[in-house]
Amino acid sequence: MSKEQSNKDKILAAAGDLFSQKGINNTSIGDLAEALGISKGTIYYYYKSKDDIIYDIVDRNFQQLTGALIERLHQLDRGIPPAEVVRLTLEAVVSAEELGRLTFHLIQEAITGNGEIRRKIAAKYREWRRLIADQLIDLLKFQTGPEELDAAAAVVLAFIEGITLQCLIAPEDIQTALVAEIFSKVLLK
């Protein structure tokens, strides 16, 4: 890994921690520089703005979540029952609690008015739905039109996000195995 990438990784890790603790709007580049023990100019050398930092964090979060989802979906190829794959997927996503919390902070930022972050997150959502749709075709042999396939991918994505949000709020209320079993029955009908 290059020194530049290593420094960017440190900036993103510290920014993620601060955003989770203080919120995005309450975290400044100065706060980030102070937490890292570097100058603001050093941060600006790597990132033009706080929005660029936010986008890189969003991008990494989506990559991590996508990787977890694909890894779990490929377990279907190995003969693992769909309900078990859904359960393992949920547990993988929900167990990354900080990642989930930060992702929802970033989505809130996009919803409440940061147009640039909104556009970038919307593009990531489209990418994620395409990826899920491809997996639905490849692994579950979905045979439907493109609109229905996109809708099915949106449902899968909404399911994952909804359960993640509920687990962040009240994890003791969610019976992951039962939720997974019911969802897999609905998905495979």
Q: How many CB atoms are closer than 10 A to CB 64? A: 15
Query: What fold is seen in the domain 51-187?
Result: Tetracycline Repressor; domain 2 (1.10.357)
Beta-carbon contacts of residue 19 (< 8 Å; ≥ 6 apart) = 27, 54, 57, 102, 105, 106
Each residue's pLDDT tens digit, 23-45: 888 999 999 999 999 999 999 99
Q: Is residue 61 a contact partner of residue 23, using CB atoms and an 8 Å limit?
A: no
Q: Is residue 136 a contact partner of residue 152, using CB atoms and an 8 Å limit?
A: yes
Angle between helices 50-73 and 3-22 in degrees, nearest 10 = 90
Each residue's pLDDT tens digit, 130-179: 888 887 777 667 778 889 888 888 988 898 888 888 988 898 898 888 88
Mean pLDDT of the region 41-60: 89
DSSP reduced 3-state for 96: coil
> What's the CATH class of domain 1-47?
mainly alpha
Q: Is residue 135 a contact partner of residue 150, using CB atoms and an 8 Å limit?
A: no
- Enumerate the domain spans of the chain: 1-47, 51-187
The answer for 162, left when phi > 0, alpha when psi is -120 to 50, beta otherwise, is alpha
Q: Is the pTM of this model over 0.75?
A: no
